[in-house]
Amino acid sequence: MRLANFLPPFVLALLVACGGGGGGGTNPPPPGPVNSVTLDRSTATMRIGEPAATFTATARDANNTTLSGKTVTWSVSQAGIVNITPNGASVSVTAAALGTTDLIATVEQKTGKATITVTNQSFPGSASVTVNNNLFDPNNVDIALNGTVTWTWASSPTDHNVTFGSGPATVSNISQRSSGSDSRTFSVAGTYPYQCTLHPGMNGTVVVH
Ligand SMILES: [Cu+2]
């Protein structure tokens, strides 16, 4: 009581001004430093002689906001297994020798990786993917040339679609649905990224060997 009486009016005014300024208005906070780096695939299997595969790194801050324009440095944990040709946030990878290596993307001392196995095995003629809320399981499948992938929707009230992006050949999309299944056959080798356009981050790939 006695203390409050002694606070001069300008101190109270300063306290109010600071409180108002801390609200931040309607602008989102500026992006923070790099907190995580992820690659579009965490594992991959390749065979010697097949087309180059492309991997892309994404850096995010602590709020999971994507940070673009960052310098990405590409490296491998084991020399000689793959050859890499960096191109900014992406890298082109070809198989060179049998074995396993990590492909590592470094952005401001944070790293993300994909484990790449170079094999001489043959790949299956078919693969199955379960469409869940909100992920494709598994999110990467490897098939032989002319193989077929079947997507089966887990029983759910939520619609999902399968929309293909930049692949080596055009594949017709599967429009949104909440049950049942549909298949696509792949007659050109390479990597086919796809996504559910209704749910950002719901991504998958088909690799045709
Ligand atoms: Cu979806």
Question: What CATH number is associated with residue 110?
Answer: 2.60.40.1080
Same domain, 65 and 130: no
Round to whole Å and give the CA distance between 23 and 20.
6
Same domain, 92 and 137: no
Domain, as residue range, for 79:
36-118
Region of residue 201 (left: phi > 0; alpha: psi -120 to 50; beta: else): left
Same domain, 99 and 138: no
The answer to whether residue 19 scores a pLDDT higher than 60 is: no
Same domain, 134 and 166: yes
Question: Separation of 73 CA from ligand 1 center, angstroms?
Answer: 32
Same domain, 100 and 155: no
More confident residue, 27 or 195: 195
CATH number of 177's domain: 2.60.40.420
Domain total in the chain: 2
Which residues surround the ion ligand 1 when the cut-off is CB under 5 Å? 134, 160, 196, 198-199, 202
Among 91, 118, 145, where does a domain finish?
Answer: 118
Considering only 5-14, 23-32, 83-92, 133-142, which range has the smallest mean pLDDT? Answer: 5-14
Question: Separation of 175 CA from ligand 1 center, angstroms?
Answer: 11
Q: Name residues whose C-beta falls within 8 Å of residue 48's C-beta, 6 or more positions apart in sequence.
A: 95, 96, 97, 98, 118, 120
Q: What mean pLDDT is reported for the chain?
A: 88
pLDDT digits (tens, 9 = 90+) for 154-177: 987 799 999 999 889 999 999 999
| pLDDT for 14 | 39
| pLDDT for 25 | 52
Please report which helix (H) or strand (E) contains residue 147, including its range: strand 147-153
Question: Separation of 160 CA from ligand 1 center, angstroms?
Answer: 4
Same domain, 150 and 97: no
